[in-house]
Amino acid sequence: MKVKTILVSQPAPKTETSPYFDLADKLKIKVDFRSFIHVEGIPGKEVRAHKIDLNNYTAIILTSRNAVDHFFRIAEEMRFTVPDDMKYFCQSEAVAYYLQKYVVYRKRKIYVGTRTFPELTKLIKKHKDEKFLLPSSDKLKALIPNELDKLGVTWTRADLYRTVVSDLSDLENVFYDVLVFFSPSGIESLYRNFPNFKQNDTRIAVFGNSTKKAVEDRGLRVDIAAPAPETPSMTMALEKYIKSNNGKR
């Protein structure tokens, strides 16, 4: 069966230069976007109950833009004035750039990793005497605490936001040729919303090994997987599959 429609389980891109728009135009297909999960802030009262006192920390580890937003939200709720000498350790340039929403970049001590958390730990290791706070979601990859524990630094995890399943009930009678997933949480949302989901002719595209495993654990078929040597991005993997599939008579 030809691919004519795709649903990407993420918010729609905010710019007009997304490769998904290029893909839709190039292959004459319809690409829709819908968040299967979303983030909700944990109230300051709940954070305080876990004995988190922002005065106790000299450095913040930021792994995502959500972590940035919710750290400053909680600081405001707790009426905590973030000191000018606070150190920020950002996992990527994108996170560091986003930090400018809240601080004057050139006047702060900001350390930027190249992309992965293990790469960021090299910078953290050079500042072992700091007291680190890790703003986190309720779902944290085991890699992060494991890496911090290996360093032997003083650090505290603070759950400031949680991942919540979105309501997709309006999609109950809407069908797509391809569903695209980027995390196990997306698969969880699919089954929370549609417990009797049957794959049938629907193709499933996944990004990453953990997402692939979550799909297979549900007894579903993975038709498109990224990253791969020839297709490092999801749009490249989709394009390769669609060209091969739609070319068949």
The full set of domain ranges for the chain reads 5-36+167-246, 40-163
The arithmetic mean of pLDDT across residues 180-203, rounded, is: 96
* Whether pLDDT at 152 is above 80: yes
**Per-residue model confidence (pLDDT) at position 141:** 83
Work out the burial of residue 82: count CB atoms within 10 Å of its CB; fewer than 13 is exposed, 13-18 middle, 19 or more buried.
middle
Q: Check: CATH 2.40.50.180 for 40-163?
A: no
Equal fold, 5-36+167-246 vs 40-163: yes
Q: Where are the alpha helices (DSSP H) in 137-233?
A: 143-151, 184-193, 209-217
**The residue type at 111:** Y
pTM: 0.77
**What CATH number does the domain located at 5-36+167-246 have?**
3.40.50.10090
**Per-residue model confidence (pLDDT) at position 188:** 95
* Whether pLDDT at 249 is above 60: no
